[in-house]
Amino acid sequence: MKKFYSATWESVKTHPLPDWYDDYKFGIFIHWGIYSVPAFAPLTWELGEIEIDEQWFCNNPYAEWYFNSINVKQGPTYQHHLQTYGKDFSYRDFLPLWKAEKWQPAEWAQLFKQAGAKYVVLTTKHHDGFCLFPSRYTDYHCLNYGPKRNILGELKSAVEAVGLKIGTYYSGVIDWTFSSAPIFTESQNMSNASPTYAYADYAFNQVLELIDDYQPAVLWNDIGWPKQGEHMLPSLFSHYYNQVEDGVVDDRWNGLWCDFTSKEYKHGEASRERKWEMCRGLGLSFGYNQNESDDDLIAVEKLVALLVEVVANNGNLLLNVGPKADGTIPNGQIERLTALGNWLEVNGEGIYATRCSCRESYRQADLDFHFTKKETDLYCFVSGLRAGETCFSLPCNTTVSALNPAVEFSQQRQGDKVEITVHNYQPAWQVLCFKVVNGE
């Protein structure tokens, strides 16, 4: 019998993490909106490298924060805006220029599937308040302005047609159409954010709208939730779980409840004891940034190694794609997604539907070792290898096999370890995975 959730914290907190979320491991984040037209931010830091204060917000590497980056009236983005568009050109003046004229949602869906992703999360409303779905609570949405298409509806159909799940990102506490005070420090994300009960009701109603109209597999809230509306969250979550029983919610609801915690670049914590998700862009920004060249995007080897490290330590990777305003995805992003998909096609057995091994990750010499398990089988990942012959040991006492059949290697048991010599490592293989039947 299907479980019914009531609108109490006690009931909501009985919701279990569904197996699919723990099995899927890899999803695609999409930041696409008005900010994709100016597509500008300085190349500064990863989130978490410096204090989230005035220095961060006035030099913000997130192109999707363009509204705030010109609203603070200082820093590289503001200077770029003055020089390129002039002081009288407002953020909303970009909206008619976002036409999405080349957008083919089926092509996006096929690319994400080819990349090995299992779910997709779309930014349905970012901090600028513009909705990528036709909302009954505002006319500021994609059927009335910009693309004049139901972005979420079309993407959901395309994604589900290739067997992927769709999730929705929603900017819960920040909406610059309600409160446009500039943000200079992290604390102002909450204090300067929309402070009224009217906005709390608006956000509540729009998220209900997303649940009822699109049944998202992931309800991904950002920054926080209006303090004035916290008492309504048990009603929101219970309604969600009753509509989408195997849905999941992130942890950005003022710390009141989550199915998984989150880490963004270097900001946040990861735990092997509780399910978490890493989100990051392929570069320093989530929204498309014209300043990011191919060399500024994460290298394929580092991307594969990141996925392995995250999964081995109980996480999922939510990797962001930032399309251009016309709806095309830049070639550098496509190349990395394709390369990751090629690697997963060979090594996915050690990623999908696995769990944390009892063996924790470690570094030895110049190599990194990570481990996953599937029932009693152990998967050992080795990254940092160089072309040619390399020797290392794996912490097991039985025969191992390589998931990549092209790998030529020899092995010899030495006590509770197996000494491995790889004879023909090629950099295009990225991270190697070895399987140990009954090795866990």
Condensed to tens digits (0 to 9), the pLDDT of residues 300-327 reads 999 999 999 999 999 999 999 999 999 9
Domain identity same for 312 and 413: no
Q: Is it the case that residue 329 has pLDDT exceeding 80?
A: yes
Lowest mean pLDDT segment, chosen from 5-9, 350-354, 384-388: 384-388
- Cα-based distances in Å from 128 to 61, 251, 403: 17, 21, 46
- Please give the pLDDT value at position 254: 97
DSSP label of 163:
T
pLDDT tens digits along 244-253 = 999 999 999 9
- Please give the pLDDT value at position 1: 78
Q: Is it the case that residue 346 has pLDDT exceeding 90?
A: yes
Domain identity same for 328 and 402: no
pLDDT tens digits along 101-134 = 999 999 999 999 999 999 999 999 999 999 999 9
> Is residue 3 in a domain?
no
Tokens for 127, please give them.
């901090």
> Is residue 4 in a domain?
no
Domain identity same for 166 and 51: yes
- Please give the pLDDT value at position 2: 86
Q: Which domain holds residue 385?
A: 357-436
CATH of the domain at 102: 3.20.20.80
- Please give the pLDDT value at position 405: 96
Euclidean distance between CA atoms 352 and 366, whole angstroms: 27
Amino acid at 27: G
List strands edge to edge, sheet with 261-264.
248-249, 218-222, 165-171, 119-125, 26-30, 315-321, 276-281, 261-264
Mean local confidence (pLDDT), 35-63: 96
Mean local confidence (pLDDT), 384-413: 93
> Is residue 1 in a domain?
no
Domain identity same for 371 and 328: no
- Please give the pLDDT value at position 382: 97
Q: Is it the case that residue 57 has pLDDT exceeding 90?
A: yes
Domain identity same for 157 and 230: yes
Confidence of residue 193 (pLDDT cuts 50, 70, 90): confident
Confidence of residue 195 (pLDDT cuts 50, 70, 90): confident
Euclidean distance between CA atoms 398 and 382, whole angstroms: 17
The count of structural domains within the chain is 2
> Is residue 414 in a domain?
yes
Domain end marker among 350, 383, 406: 350
Which residue in 126, 110, 115, 229 sits closest to 168, CA to CA? Answer: 126
> Is residue 285 in a domain?
yes
Domain identity same for 231 and 166: yes
> Is residue 2 in a domain?
no
Domain identity same for 331 and 241: yes
CATH of the domain at 399: 2.60.40.1180
Domain identity same for 239 and 362: no
Mean pLDDT over each residue of the chain, to the nearest integer: 96
Amino acid at 107: E
- Please give the pLDDT value at position 320: 98
Domain end marker among 325, 350, 375: 350
Mean local confidence (pLDDT), 395-399: 89
Domain end marker among 292, 318, 350: 350
- Please give the pLDDT value at position 59: 97
Euclidean distance between CA atoms 330 and 320, whole angstroms: 12
DSSP label of 267:
B
Mean local confidence (pLDDT), 63-91: 98
Mean local confidence (pLDDT), 79-106: 98
Lowest mean pLDDT segment, chosen from 126-130, 162-166, 331-335, 385-389: 385-389
> Is residue 101 in a domain?
yes
- Please give the pLDDT value at position 207: 98
Q: Is it the case that residue 154 has pLDDT exceeding 80?
A: yes
Domain identity same for 201 and 289: yes
Domain identity same for 425 and 314: no
> Is residue 330 in a domain?
yes
Confidence of residue 241 (pLDDT cuts 50, 70, 90): very high
Q: Is it the case that residue 191 has pLDDT exceeding 90?
A: no
Confidence of residue 265 (pLDDT cuts 50, 70, 90): very high
Model's pTM, two decimal places? Answer: 0.97
Domain identity same for 338 and 375: no
- Please give the pLDDT value at position 397: 85
Domain identity same for 115 and 193: yes
Euclidean distance between CA atoms 142 and 149, whole angstroms: 6
Tokens for 198, please give them.
């009217």
Q: Is it the case that residue 269 has pLDDT exceeding 90?
A: no
